[in-house]
Structure 1
Amino acid sequence: MTTARDIMNSGARWVPAHETLDRAAQLMRDHNVGALPVSANGDQDRMVGIITDRDIVVECVAMGHDPSKVTAGDLAHGTPRWIDAAADVNAVLEEMQTHRIRRLPVVEDKKLVGMISEADLAQHLTEEQIAGWAEKVYSRT
Structure 2
Amino acid sequence: MSIGQFCIRDTVIVNKDDTIVEAAKVMREHHVGSVVVVEEAEGGCKPLGILTDRDLVVEILAEEVAPEAVTVGDIMSFELVTVREQDGFWETLQRMRVNGVRRIPVVDERGLLAGIISADDYLEILSAELGELAKLLVREKGKEEQRRGA
Coarse TM-score class (shorter-chain normalised): 0.7 to 0.9
Once the two structures are superposed, residues 10-31 of structure 1 have per-residue CA deviations (whole angstroms, 9 ceiling, x without a partner) of 2212211110111001111112
Find the aligned partners of 2:59 and 2:67 in 1 and give their Cα distance: 10
| Structure 1 residues 41-80: aligned runs within 5 Å | 42-43=40-41, 45-80=45-80
1:114 is matched with: 115
Find the aligned partners of 1:4 and 1:33 in 2 and give their Cα distance: 21
CA RMSD in angstroms, aligned pairs only: 1.9
Moved runs in structure 1, 4+ residues, more than 4 A? Answer: none
* Structure 1, unaligned runs of 5 or more: 128-141
Find the aligned partners of 1:28 and 1:15 in 2 and give their Cα distance: 10
2:29 is matched with: 30
TM-score for the superposition, normalised by structure 2: 0.75
Larger RCO (alpha carbons 8 Å, 6+ apart): 1
Find the aligned partners of 2:88 and 2:119 in 1 and give their Cα distance: 17
Once the two structures are superposed, residues 72-115 of structure 1 have per-residue CA deviations (whole angstroms, 9 ceiling, x without a partner) of 10012432111111111111112101100001111113221211
Structure (1/2) with the larger helix percentage: 2
Paired residue secondary structure (1:23) = helix
2:131 is matched with: none
TM-score for the superposition, normalised by structure 1: 0.79
* Structure 2, unaligned runs of 5 or more: 129-150
- The structure having more radius of gyration, on CA atoms, is 2
